[in-house]
Amino acid sequence: MVALSFGVLVAVAIVTCLFMAWVLGANSNSPPFAPAIGANAISTMRAAFVIGLLAAAGALMQGGSISETIGADLIDGVAITPLAATAGLLTAATFMAVGIYTRYPIPAAFATTGAMVGVGLGLGGDPAFDTYRRLGTFWLLVPFMSGGLAYVTAVVLRRDDVPESVSIPALAGLVGAILANVRLGVIPAPDAAQGTLAGFLSRQLGNGPALTDGVDLGIVLVTLGAGLVSAYLVRKQVLVSAERGIRSFLLVLGGIVAFSSGGSQVGLATGPLENLFRTQLGLPTTLLLAIGAAGILAGAWMGAPRLLQATSREYAQLGARRSIAALVPGFVIAQLAIALGIPISLNNIVLSGVIGGGLAAGSAGVSRRKIGFTVAFWLLTLGSSIAVGFALYRAFATVVG
């Protein structure tokens, strides 16, 4: 047995967290900008640069809820130690590396969740069945929500009786209205750690009469205003040039989804260290999220260009309209998951959206064989990562003590 000091274990855990964040930045944040590259709206290197900045910003402003779920809610009765966090992160990163090598997308959310459940059980904790039911229900609904929204969106965009000067601005208005109600760490709120733009502006205007619990007239008016402004700006571009306007909206939408991806993915790297930073070291969660954001930024700048070139070729075959149909539900579902504190895989959401948008054109545009293998990989990942995380932690504990 090799005895290691607490400081060494902390350092190893932080380095492992950075490595996991790097992998997430290189692999999990590329899908949002691949359609824009495929439509020649932005170059690959510029897209990688923008992805890094937006994903890192999303990690800092929105990553807290997912991080808390991964770090505290997956197992009952025990707290995650630095050694357990290291074992869990190494397990998840290994599974993702296998997915990269085999070219089948393994959801980071499945790998990390399973790994942390495994190490928690290895610590002697009890399964948190209520959390598992909540996560499982949401994960099962994701393909239907994403595919269904993408299908409806693609059908509307393909209709000859709905001009693009109406359909594209309408989608932009919906996205703008949702953005006004996204919780961000930089916006103050009297009753929460994160506030919304709609809530902040509503308070500046005096709120107005309450319509329902937690919703007043001011929030509704600001939400409508944000939607109308977004629709107007996009419609103005579409009227000048439909293709140029669609590419511009696709580029903005990719940026919004990349931001959401950072907020939903960083917790997979930082969550295992939540107990270490808050309880044992007494450090703020913001510092932990900053470490994760730095890893995501580095991963996007160093590793994303190659994956962007590969995925953009697939999106180029989809076209700009079907790409929009795939990314709109990606944004909506990612923000819903962040609000609920549920770890998700953006690849899962976007793939479901691609299939749903493809069905609107009469073909999913994705190999049924590859879909079957992908789903099998997802299920295998969730189950086997629990076993590997459990075994790896026990092995570490035996060697390190």
Q: What is the pLDDT of residues 213-272, one digit of tens each?
A: 667 788 889 999 999 999 999 999 999 988 888 888 988 998 998 899 898 889 999 999
Helix residue ranges per DSSP H, 28-128? 34-38, 44-62, 64-68, 82-102, 108-122
Nearest to 46 by CA among 251, 260, 263, 282: 251
What is the per-residue pLDDT for 368? Answer: 67
d(C-alpha 265, C-alpha 178), whole Å: 20
pLDDT for 70-80, tens place per residue? Answer: 988 999 989 89
Assess whether pLDDT exceeds 80 at residue 155.
yes
> Mean pLDDT lowest for which of 122-126, 252-256, 320-324, 346-350?
346-350
What is the per-residue pLDDT for 317? Answer: 64
The distance in angstroms from the start CA to the end CA of the chain is 6
With H, G, I as helix, E, B as strand and everything else as coil, classify residue 226: helix
The phi, psi pair for 183, rounded to 5°, reads -80, 130
Evaluate the CA torsion angle 265, 177, 225, 255 in order and state its sign: positive
Assess whether pLDDT exceeds 70 at residue 343.
yes
d(C-alpha 107, C-alpha 90), whole Å: 15
- Token digits of residue 156: 């509307």
What is the per-residue pLDDT for 401? Answer: 62
The phi, psi pair for 75, rounded to 5°, reads -145, 145
Give the DSSP letter of residue 330.
H
Q: Quick one: average pLDDT of 33-61? A: 83
What is the per-residue pLDDT for 217? Answer: 82
d(C-alpha 211, C-alpha 214), whole Å: 8
Nearest to 325 by CA among 307, 352, 301: 352
Assess whether pLDDT exceeds 60 at residue 370.
yes
pTM: 0.87
Higher-pLDDT residue of 3, 110: 110
What is the per-residue pLDDT for 192? Answer: 66
Diameter of the chain measured on Cα atoms:
73
What is the per-residue pLDDT for 1? Answer: 52
